[in-house]
A and B are shown apart, each in its own frame.
Chain A
């Protein structure tokens, strides 16, 4: 017998499929576009079975042309559809950069709301899965710097489903980043049916009064491991999964750093120009006088994401995060 909120255990990538399925079923205007998303179900199987269920007219295999199908998606979005576009890997989004920067993100502004682009661009991102070069980029900051597009990055199956539904229902373009390292690494109970999570809201994963650890995406499990280990040393962390990178959850950040006075920001993207710097700006603007120690950042280096033979050296690890936590504690 079904209860009102039956749940199913699923991986992050299955939660994505579930969200797409629900939205395709609910709204005729929702269309999926991307490379190999039809019969093949996407290279990560995020659209597995959806073409068979909804047909080639709604789950559309496109030519191999990121600028072309993102541009066409803009044309479809201004003409009444809700395209959900899959970019195979974030590292291959660059040909579409111009379409996103000069059109998707600013058509509402240019036309004062006459034309709008309710479109979602999904992109797996990040290192740590032994993928070939360029497949591992984490260049979210390129897009958080663009006015007019929201950037979302879930780390768990539950969040992925709720945030993707919210992204599809958002009246503006949303870049939806999927940490491929988390695609199948963990399972959790995900409610059946439709629910959404508000874009722009973080999630407190652990409560602690000593240090705030702020992170997102594939670094969430790493930060949680570090925070667990620090408990044994009697240091208690507030761990925040930002979930949305634009707009950042200012209130959650301020509340936590005012409580702890000590902060470690963790991201796998390059340090310079990274979203961590915007988190720092929020701390500066809201909580300067509460700070007991300079904020530490644990990030990827200012080097291109290396070939996977080196990626374990590039990515922040629980050990590096712990070291930073100890540093802010000892200051």
Chain B
């Protein structure tokens, strides 16, 4: 099956373009956007881990190593498309325009963090595994029914493809030709369980055969490949040709969450090697160097800008008003039922009149 679904790439580890079809499409503007976003979300990820260590946010799920997959997909979306991320895809969400402050609020236990900026169709991160896949199928089906050219993207990991909702979502979308891209980041571990213990299938892309939809396997650390393949899939979706399954093979360097210790279940020297060899940011840097377009000063500028932006978001998160207990009661239903009204009133009275 690996032969039927080879890992496709545009750029090799050394930053050389190995598929000349794309040479003209790779513009300076695009490269700079990819680089800037990947650096930005990496700085965010590292800062977030450090905030968790200092007790300033709660348990956090890092994505370092998967930046090309997240930035390449988000950059391919149009303003009116839908994004259905998981808890490890806030890199994609912030690239698509989510508020950094709100993402931090989410990781600090606040519902306010699930609210996307106005007009942004970003669903709250799916915490259960694979349940967002049918949502994306349904939202996309709805767009088709409305007659728009909008599409949806659902993110999920390798482990999610073992869940029933993966099957039900892909089957539903393929039956109704829903304009949706099923974007799998195969980072090869579902917490501690490696790919070969998760499934007997040699690839995830091959699972598309069962639904008679296109399945493509790509290098998830090659931002060009991710971007152009996602664009292709979105294009198909917009034309009414239905869903696509993309398997982006990648790697998370760190832990499943800050509550996890990956050295318990795998040799972390693999992560160190990959950092040197296949890192998505380094790879783009190599391409820039090969092309004589690497500008050290520009890199420093964007790093500084990202760090400042993130520091500002952290300050906003920390200055955010304390949790208002009314929030617990006010959004269960459009109109609170008598139980909720009564419980709210009694609780607010108990704590001294509430807010």
**Which of A's residues lie within 8 Å of B, judged by CB?**
31, 57, 62-63, 65, 67-81, 95, 98-99, 102-103, 107-116, 147-148, 150, 171-172, 200, 246-247, 250
Contacts and interface: CB of A to CB of B under 8 A. Distances in A.
Contacts of B82: 79
Given A67-B165, A113-B331, A247-B337, A75 B136 contact: yes
Nearest to B84: A75
A80 B175 CA distance: 21
Interface string B121-151: 0011001100101111111111101100000
Contacts of A113: 331, 334
Contact of A71 (B114, B165, B175, B332): B165
B111 A109 contact: yes
B169 A71 contact: yes
Residue of B111, B135, B152, B339 with highest tally of chain A CB at under 10 A:
B135
Contacts of B168: 63, 65, 67-69, 71
B146 A75 contact: no
A234 B115 CA distance: 61
B334 A171 contact: yes
Contacts of B164: 67, 95
Interface residues of B, number: 42
Contact of B135 (A75, A114, A116, A150): A75
Given A74-B138, A111-B115, A80 B123 contact: no
Interface of B: 82, 111-112, 114-116, 123-124, 127-128, 131, 133-143, 145-146, 152, 164-165, 167-169, 171-172, 175, 327, 330-334, 337-339
B99 to A, nearest CB: 12
A79 B143 CA distance: 8
A72 B124 contact: no
A109 B331 contact: yes
B330 to A, nearest CB: 8
Contacts of B331: 108-109, 111-113
Nearest to B178: A72
- List the 6 closest A-B pairs by CB distance, nearest first: A75-B138, A71-B134, A68-B168, A72-B138, A75-B139, A79-B142
Nearest to A99: B131
A104 to B, nearest CB: 10
Nearest to B165: A67
Contact of B172 (A65, A99, A108, A171): A65
Given A71-B168, A102-B131, A111 B142 contact: no
Contacts of A79: 82, 138-139, 142-143
Contacts of A247: 337-339
Contacts of A99: 131, 134, 165
Contacts of A171: 333-334
Contacts of A250: 338
Given A63-B168, A107-B124, A108-B333, 14 more contacts: A65-B168, A67-B164, A67-B165, A68-B171, A71-B131, A71-B134, A74-B134, A75-B140, A75-B152, A76-B141, A78-B123, A99-B134, A112-B114, A172-B333
Given A98-B128, A108-B332, A250-B338, A75 B327 contact: no
A69 B138 CA distance: 8
A246 B142 contact: no
Q: Identify which of B127, B140, B143, B165 gathers the most chain A CB atoms within 10 Å of its CB.
A: B165
B349 to A, nearest CB: 16
B332 A148 contact: yes
Contacts of B133: 71
29 contacts: A65-B168, A65-B172, A68-B137, A71-B133, A71-B137, A71-B138, A72-B137, A72-B138, A72-B169, A74-B134, A74-B135, A75-B134, A75-B135, A75-B136, A75-B137, A75-B140, A75-B152, A79-B142, A80-B146, A99-B131, A99-B165, A103-B131, A108-B333, A111-B111, A111-B115, A112-B115, A147-B332, A148-B333, A200-B338
Contact of A112 (B111, B333, B334): B111
Nearest to B339: A247
Contacts of A65: 167-168, 171-172
